[in-house]
């Protein structure tokens, strides 16, 4: 009887040891849970690029969270954790779009010393962006933000900041050209900057409306010849 109790005790001790090893193996190595939420290779820039495409195609109001989640390859809870609600996501997408536009301005406008070439660079590069897809999706800033500006004050503020920054870059360009003798003294650089940006707005709207790229390129060329005399 005494021997039986010893054997039983030994069996229970060994069984507990084996169970503990298996438990460690299960939770320590083999059964690690996959992190929930955003995928491991989540790339915010790529996700926002896909969101921009949806917003350009369907607009802010027409784009559903399911549309956005599908295009961004995220589930809705992950999308919300990464970017917030739809308005916050739209603003992040707009921020990225404007940032890309700012980079284009620095490279093709600010760095170019010839005024006429710089402004034509702006229009040509913008048209390339507007017509990157078929049909032309045009410009997120000029074609979707104005629609939301009245009901979303923060979007209106974002839009005004972007327009103001573009005005400032163009005004500095016209002022520098004036100092270099490329622009007559009677021209007002601030007014010229607003007019140059106004042409950009028109190109974006006309591209959205279906005007051919060749027609808009010709229009921009005439505008440059008129402004840069």
pLDDT at 12: 45
pLDDT at 31: 37
Q: What is the pLDDT of residue 37?
A: 53
Has residue 220 got a pLDDT over 70? yes
Predicted pLDDT of residue 229:
75
- As a whole number, the mean pLDDT across the chain is 86
Least confident of 25-34, 113-122, 159-168, 197-206: 25-34
Phi-psi region of 183 (alpha: psi -120 to 50; beta: other; left: phi over 0): beta
pLDDT number for residue 198: 97
**What does the pLDDT average to over 15-35?**
40
CA–CA dist 165, 65 (Å, integer): 31
161 pLDDT more than 60: yes
Q: Residue 36: pLDDT band by 50, 70, 90 thresholds?
A: low
Q: Provide mean pLDDT across the span 26-47.
A: 58
Could you tell me which residues come within 8 angstroms of residue 68 by beta carbon, excluding any fewer than 6 positions away?
Answer: 51, 54, 79, 86, 89
Instruction: Report residue 163's pLDDT band, with 50, 70 and 90 as the boundaries.
Output: very high
| Confidence band of 82 (pLDDT split at 50, 70, 90) | very high
Q: What is the pLDDT of residues 100-137, one digit of tens each?
A: 999 999 999 999 999 999 999 999 999 999 999 999 99
The per-residue pLDDT for range 49-76, each reduced to its tens digit, is 999 999 999 999 999 999 999 999 999 9
């Amino acid at each position: 009887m005494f021997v039986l109790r010893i054997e039983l005790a030994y069996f229970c001790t060994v069984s507990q040891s084996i169970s503990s090893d298996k438990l460690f193996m299960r939770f320590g190595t083999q059964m690690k849970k996959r992190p929930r939420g955003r995928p491991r290779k989540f790339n915010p820039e790529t996700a926002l690029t896909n969101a921009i495409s949806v917003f350009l195609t369907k607009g802010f109001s027409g784009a559903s969270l399911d549309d956005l989640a599908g295009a961004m390859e995220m589930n809705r809870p992950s999308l919300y954790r990464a970017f917030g609600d739809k308005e916050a996501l739209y603003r992040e997408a707009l921020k990225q779009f404007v940032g890309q536009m700012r980079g284009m301005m620095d490279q093709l406008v600010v760095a170019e010393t010839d005024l006429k070439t710089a402004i034509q660079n702006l229009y040509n590069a913008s048209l390339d962006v507007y017509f990157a897809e078929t049909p032309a999706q045009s410009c997120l800033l000029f074609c979707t933000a104005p629609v939301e500006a009245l009901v979303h004050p923060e979007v209106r503020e974002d839009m005004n900041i972007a327009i103001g920054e573009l005005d400032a870059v163009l005004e500095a360009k016209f002022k520098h050209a004036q100092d270099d003798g490329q622009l007559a003294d009677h021209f007002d650089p601030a007014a010229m900057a607003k007019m140059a940006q106004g042409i950009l707005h028109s190109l974006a709207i006309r591209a959205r409306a279906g005007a051919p790229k060749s027609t808009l390129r010709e229009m921009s060329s005439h505008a440059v010849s008129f402004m840069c005399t």
